[in-house]
Amino acid sequence: MFGLANPQRFMSFTGPLTPVLWVIAAGLLAVGTWFSFVAPGDYQQGDTVRIMFVHVPASILGLAAYAALGVSSFFALVFRHPLADAAARAAALPGAALTALALITGGLWGQPMWGTWWVWDARLTSVLVLFLFYLGYMALRASIDDEARAARAAAVLGLVGLINLPIVKFSVDWWNTLHQPASLLRAGGPSLDPVFLLPLLLMIAGYSALFMAVWLSSIRTEIVRRRVQTIRARRALDA
């Protein structure tokens, strides 16, 4: 694993892996979507229950993407490794997109179920804070011209944002919230009926493969960008 910290080894390993992940993601999402529409409507929620197959995977992967950003930021800050910084930077945009999707679909699901698009519920608010951490991370990097200083400042912010992840996860247990409690990772196993559980697991797997494909592709692009910058800087010095 640590051997992949070498950019050249990383590029060699992920070159054939990335297109495979794209294919796996497309297949899982296609099958998961089909099962999502085949599944019957819920006896209480009707067809609005199908929003779950987008909302839940987006929520899970929004958290996972920030975990990847935060852990990468730690290695970038402590060990000053450029590949770790590239990994953190590459996780920000897809993570923000997934979190935004979770917020939007949450509102679409909440309106018919709760009678409102938004409430300052502990879960909803903590996910909004997560989204703001993503935006703050990207804005901070863009606001500092010196790339090394930008990387260090953003890494610190990325580490601070990790504090919010357990708050998002356990908010429904720590406070009285309008949001329903966990139905997948809970004591006694999932509470979902198998007719809903199968498409949901397929969609979660599909979103996971999609994020990995996007993340690895973005890291590879970042490595190439930095190599080009280095070559241009050397040519400018030689000139």
| Residue tagged 């229950």 (tokens) | 49
pLDDT given at position 162: 96
Q: Which residues make Cβ contacts (< 8 Å) with residue 78, sequence separation at least 6?
A: none
pTM reported for the whole predicted model: 0.90
| Nearest Cα to Cα of residue 179 among 168, 191, 163, 166 | 168
| Residue tagged 């945009």 (tokens) | 93
pLDDT digits (tens, 9 = 90+) for 43-92: 677 778 889 899 999 999 999 999 999 999 999 999 888 899 999 999 99
CA distance 118 to 108: 9
In degrees and rounded to multiples of 5, residue 211 shows phi and psi of -60, -45
CA distance 191 to 201: 13
CA distance 29 to 50: 14
SS3 87: helix
pLDDT given at position 17: 95
pLDDT given at position 178: 65
Q: Which residues of the chain have pLDDT under 70?
A: 1-5, 42-43, 178-179, 181-193, 239
